[in-house]
Amino acid sequence: MRRGRRGAIKGLIAGGLALWLYSFYEPIVRIEVVKHRLDLGLGLDILFVTDTHLHGVPGREDMVIKLVKNLSPEVDLTILGGDIYDEFSESLESFSSLLDAVNGEALMVLGNHEHWAAGRYPIEETVELVESRGIQVLRNRLVEYRGLLIGGIDWYGDDPGLAKKYYRGVGRVDILVSHTPDILGDAEVDARLVLAGHTHGGQILGPLGLITNSRHGYVSGFYRRGETLMYVSRGAGEIIPFRLLTPREVTVLSV
């Protein structure tokens, strides 16, 4: 009995170690192109890319940039959902490379890490850089695209009380983009579709929904509130390359 118990404990330790090692391996080599066809009648194909956290690391980040370069010409609109770089990015060279990889119409919202990095990379300079590539940055405003209204919410998670104020700058839209999915619980959203990221799919054991930085419990995938459908991406990167059963993704949505 004692020997069998020791063997079981060793097996658990070995299994735990294997999972721990795999959690570093997964984000280095694995990224999924997730495709969803929705019946919303909006008539758009959208490439949604969020949470890339570009640090200038070769290989892993080149995979994301290459996917954007290959997929963006195949869709109607590319949307960057924030946290494209962060305060640990040594430069904005990889960020610029990603912007250059976008081929076609594109929009962007800002995430928490662009704001947290503002001491190093001022927000207005980032907006200028993005818009110099013909990509509009939506900060609590909307644009019309092919007869559809598309709005973007700036990062407000450090002060959730700003959610309603920020959303009033947008109002009713067909598509709303917010880095944080909590907008769906923090404001009375009137949109057909919400696109969000921020959670990294929980980053660890995302399919179980045990870990999330969403105050409303959003992890990844689809959520519905009334007539509004929301999709939360697992994101295409992370500050520390550590994921477990929550692979990186870029998303193509036919809406």
Q: Using one digit for the tens of pLDDT, what is the confidence trace for 142-195?
A: 999 999 999 999 999 999 999 999 999 999 999 999 999 999 999 999 999 999
Task: Domain count for the chain, please give it.
Answer: 1
For the stretch 52-66, pLDDT in tens is: 999 988 878 899 999
In Å, how far are 77, 130, 171 from 43, measured between CA atoms? Answer: 11, 26, 21
> Residue 18 has what pLDDT?
47
The first and second tokens of residue 14, run together, are: 């070995």
Query: Domain limits at 184?
Result: 2-254
| Mean pLDDT, residues 85-102 taken together | 97
pLDDT at 13 over 50: yes
Long-range own/partner contacts, residues 224-230 (CB < 8 A, 24 or more apart): 225/184, 225/185, 225/189, 227/192, 228/184, 228/189, 228/190, 228/191, 228/192, 228/193, 228/194, 229/38, 229/40, 229/192, 229/193, 229/194, 230/181, 230/184, 230/193, 230/194, 230/195, 230/196
Output the domain CATH number for residue 38. Answer: 3.60.21.10
